[in-house]
Structure 1
Amino acid sequence: MNPQADQLWRGPRWALAVLLAVLGMLGPFSIDTYLPAFTGIAQALDASPVQMQQTLSAYLFGFAFMNLFHGALSDSFGRRPVILWGLAMFTLASAGCALAQNIGQLVFFRALQGFSTGAGIVVSRAVIRDMFPPSQAQKVMSQVTIYFGVAPAVAPIVGGWLYVHANWHSIFWFLTGVGVVLWVANWRLLPETLHTSHRQPFHMRHLLQGYAHMASSPRFLLLALASGVPFNGMFLYVLAAPAFLGQHLGLGPTQFFWFFALTISGIMAGAWLSGRLAGRIAPERQIRMGFTVMLVVSVVNLLANLLLAPHASWALLPISIFAFGWALMVPVVTLLVLDLHPERRGMASSLQACIGSVANGLVAGLIVPLVMHSPRLLAATSLAMMAVGLVAWVWLRHRWPETGAHIAVH
């Protein structure tokens, strides 16, 4: 924690949470905004469904690759420069997407978007821990998740409206404008939260040694899997939204809103409860509660899909409840990850995000194309994604039962 943290931000805590949440929302916003136009873009660029899916996987793999560097760079050069350079690159990449004339160009610029958006997500986590002790950091992390949840609910509405009333290019011009606004806002408002005494030398050998040390830590890897992989239990429905919502549930582009609104409502409710529980119950208990919710609803969702025909009246609710369970536990797991290596929180955040986004990329590029044609397969895959995280957490608690067993207040 920065010893001068109380002097860096004079405003209310919620205002900083809003600023950091807006940074964190840029990644999912870049995905959710253009999903309603998926079919239209494919027709305009003469692209197949598999090629369009590559615009998602290229973004996610670019996101995963650069996540290895955003946090480490912020540990060496400061949080603020990394965020500002990332926003500048995102803005240029969004303009490139808007000007794309074929699917190859769109895939390329989507990858550049992925390279850049991780800066806000990764570094904002480190900023929170720079500024607050554990119990307060959990509250802020939960506030960030709540505010962050507004954007993906709004994004498909904006994207659907722009596509229907203008064209698909306008969606990416809109994202270009978002990038400009965020750059100016962070340039004027975001303080540098990494104390000069906490900066790490930036040498490639030193960097690789740091990653090797973390990657060889079973405790770190299990925590990263417990937080990152279950996210795909709901994210695969986002990635498969054109097929799931359009084909299976018969919703139009402007009706995608209902899916995102319910899912994000679940995230916001879980994050709110997580913040309320901060400092009141042991982290281990809160994580167990989150996994219990996800396990029960995943099993119910699979059984419902096996017994009933898919319909919007019931098929969206289990995803929302799953999102509630995920948001209840993920702020706690994230803080446990960051506090494993307090001298390298940026790097820890980077590697955690990289593991999660590699899983996202594999789901987008390999798994979703195989299962998006069947609601039953989507439900079974969602259960499997949750199970990976649950097994990782149970194994972690078996090996290191002290993990998350006590309330941290320092």
Structure 2
Amino acid sequence: MLALTSIWTTILLAAAVALAPMAIDMYLPAFPQIGTDFGANTAQVQLTLSIYIGGFALAQLICGPLADRFGRKPIMIGGMLIFALASIGCALATNIEMLQLFRFLQALGGSAGPVLARAIVRDVYTPRDAAKILAMLAGMMALAPAIAPTLGGFIVAIFDWHWIFIVMAAYALIMVAVIAFGIPEPLRPENRQPFRMCSLLRNYRLVSTDPTFIGYALTSAAVYGGLFAYLSGSAFVLIEVLGVAPEHFGLYNAVTAAGYLIGNIASIRLASRYTPDQILRYGLLGGLVSGAIMAALAYGQLYSPWAVVLPQAAVMASLGMILPQSMAGALANFPKMAGSASALLGFTQMAAAAAAGALVGHLHDGTPLVMATIITACAALALFAYLFLVQRYPAQDFEAQSANS
């Protein structure tokens, strides 16, 4: 078995977390084809994404406490097995309602990877070191949104969308074997929490009423909302509105993923010279400016793929700086309840993502305008949460007030 602090374990955790963006990004190029096959409109197809995000959010609330009680490995393995079976169900769906149902079941299993990977990092590392590891993990994970849409586009062009879900099922089964035999159980017996309703509610009450957690979680959730506004709307905007071929859709996504990777690398490099608070602040300001540029171009009716993709790449670079700091800050105060804290953080992120994605699908007007406006609004909300909550209640021994930076 691998040592928990080895780079290979970090790579393995990144591969586990990548299951979530794979389930989201790989089938985006197939949106138009799914709509045609099932006779479904834009909102119905987009709902398959929002349902996944909603199910993902709800499942985390149970997944985290279960992992605090029984350990990280068995829950992660069980979740991935559920994900694999639901993926096969998606591939066999005969109407849009069946696809929506199996996407929900897919989300129930898929939540285990991201929630428990974050919890494992908190099990093993201090809050400051956890921010660096989460940044490394997110940087490696950035390969998923770069590769997945490209692979999905080629699968759609050569075969059809059903095979996308077969590939997802195969990936999940491989991860089951690797996790089962590749890493030891990271949760120490003395840190296990009882899985009783009263204990579960008590833990969630402690986490959800902690002002430090609230500040970092809302900051993270707002930028997640902007990310999923783009993911929900980009296929329709780029393919249907701006004429990008489905097999080329992933190449444009690779540009935005490169922005995310650049932001992650910057976060790691800057950690030795700047406080987490400063990195978070610069990322939030950069995200707001980048989103505003995209919105301004859309309001000016400059309709081009690059008028969407290049500003979004800059937004993604800001996310690469924001997310590791905000996630590590949210978990910093809960070393013995990392599973529950990670679950509640994930729920908050995914609830914001589902709301933003549904809003984009409902308001889509055949232009990039709605998507760009929602991305900018989410960036503004994230900065608001940072200024009024994070700076007032920073995580001890992790964040520094800007006045002391």
TM-score, with normalisation over the residues of structure 2?
Answer: 0.94
2:127 equivalent in structure 1: 134
- Distance in 2 separating the partners of 1:400 and 1:140: 23
2:12 equivalent in structure 1: 19
1:400 equivalent in structure 2: 393
Code of the residue aligned with 2:234 in structure 1: it is A
Offset of residue 218 of structure 1: 3.3
Give runs of aligned pairs for residues 279-318 of structure 1, distance below 5 A.
Answer: 279-318=272-311
Code of the residue aligned with 2:43 in structure 1: it is V
Distance 1:255 1:372, change over 3 A: farther
Distance 1:317 1:86, change over 3 A: same
Offset of residue 406 of structure 1: 7.6
User: CA offsets per residue over residues 343-366 of structure 1, 9 Å max, x none?
Assistant: 211100000000110111112223
User: SS in structure 1 opposite 2:324?
Assistant: helix
Aligned residues: 400
Q: 1:44 is matched with which residue: 26, 30, 37? A: 37
- Distance in 2 separating the partners of 1:149 and 1:260: 11
Give runs of aligned pairs for residues 96-245 of structure 1, distance below 5 A.
Answer: 96-245=89-238
Offset of residue 105 of structure 1: 1.0
Which segments of 5 or more consecutive residues in structure 2 lack a partner in the other structure? none
Offset of residue 317 of structure 1: 0.5
- Distance in 1 separating the partners of 2:32 and 2:394: 49
Do the aligned partners of 2:5 and 2:124 also contact (CA within 8 Å) in 1? no
- Distance in 2 separating the partners of 1:288 and 1:358: 23
Code of the residue aligned with 2:99 in structure 1: it is L
Offset of residue 368 of structure 1: 3.1
Offset of residue 11 of structure 1: 7.8
2:378 equivalent in structure 1: 385
Identity %: 32
Do the aligned partners of 2:287 and 2:318 also contact (CA within 8 Å) in 1? yes
Moved more, 161-170 or 209-218: 209-218
Code of the residue aligned with 2:237 in structure 1: it is F
Q: 1:348 is matched with which residue: 334, 338, 341? A: 341
Give runs of aligned pairs for residues 321-336 of structure 1, distance below 5 A.
Answer: 321-336=314-329
Do the aligned partners of 1:29 and 1:155 also contact (CA within 8 Å) in 2? yes
Distance 1:323 1:216, change over 3 A: same
Moved more, 276-285 or 345-354: 276-285
Which segments of 5 or more consecutive residues in structure 1 lack a partner in the other structure? 1-7
- Distance in 2 separating the partners of 1:302 and 1:134: 36
- Distance in 1 separating the partners of 2:300 and 2:178: 50
Offset of residue 402 of structure 1: 7.0
TM-align CA RMSD:
1.9
Code of the residue aligned with 2:400 in structure 1: it is A
- Distance in 1 separating the partners of 2:301 and 2:96: 38
Do the aligned partners of 1:267 and 1:320 also contact (CA within 8 Å) in 2? yes
Code of the residue aligned with 1:99 in structure 2: it is L
Offset of residue 97 of structure 1: 0.6
- Distance in 2 separating the partners of 1:60 and 1:18: 24
Moved more, 21-30 or 39-48: 39-48
Moved more, 141-150 or 231-240: 231-240
Give runs of aligned pairs for residues 269-284 of structure 1, distance below 5 A.
Answer: 269-284=262-277
User: CA offsets per residue over residues 219-263 of structure 1, 9 Å max, x none?
Assistant: 322211101211222321211122111123210101112321011
Moved more, 282-291 or 215-224: 215-224
- Distance in 2 separating the partners of 1:132 and 1:216: 24
Offset of residue 12 of structure 1: 7.0
Do the aligned partners of 2:87 and 2:166 also contact (CA within 8 Å) in 1? yes
TM-score, with normalisation over the residues of structure 1?
Answer: 0.93
Do the aligned partners of 1:244 and 1:372 also contact (CA within 8 Å) in 2? no
User: CA offsets per residue over residues 255-303 of structure 1, 9 Å max, x none?
Assistant: 1123210111011111111112234321111111111111221222222
- Distance in 2 separating the partners of 1:147 and 1:287: 20
User: CA offsets per residue over residues 177-217 of structure 1, 9 Å max, x none?
Assistant: 11111111111102210111111111011101211222233
- Distance in 2 separating the partners of 1:102 and 1:375: 28
User: SS in structure 2 opposite 1:182?
Assistant: helix
- Distance in 2 separating the partners of 1:179 and 1:149: 18
Do the aligned partners of 1:135 and 1:279 also contact (CA within 8 Å) in 2? no
- Distance in 2 separating the partners of 1:329 and 1:272: 12
Do the aligned partners of 1:243 and 1:372 also contact (CA within 8 Å) in 2? no
Code of the residue aligned with 1:147 in structure 2: it is M
Distance 1:350 1:397, change over 3 A: closer
Q: 1:33 is matched with which residue: 26, 51, 57? A: 26
Do the aligned partners of 2:226 and 2:375 also contact (CA within 8 Å) in 1? yes
Distance 1:365 1:302, change over 3 A: closer
2:252 pairs with 1:252: no
Distance 1:111 1:392, change over 3 A: same
Moved more, 347-356 or 268-277: 268-277
Offset of residue 150 of structure 1: 0.5
Distance 1:42 1:386, change over 3 A: same
Offset of residue 372 of structure 1: 5.5
- Distance in 2 separating the partners of 1:12 and 1:336: 20
2:50 pairs with 1:57: yes
User: CA offsets per residue over residues 2-45 of structure 1, 9 Å max, x none?
Assistant: xxxxxx84387321111011111111111111111111112222
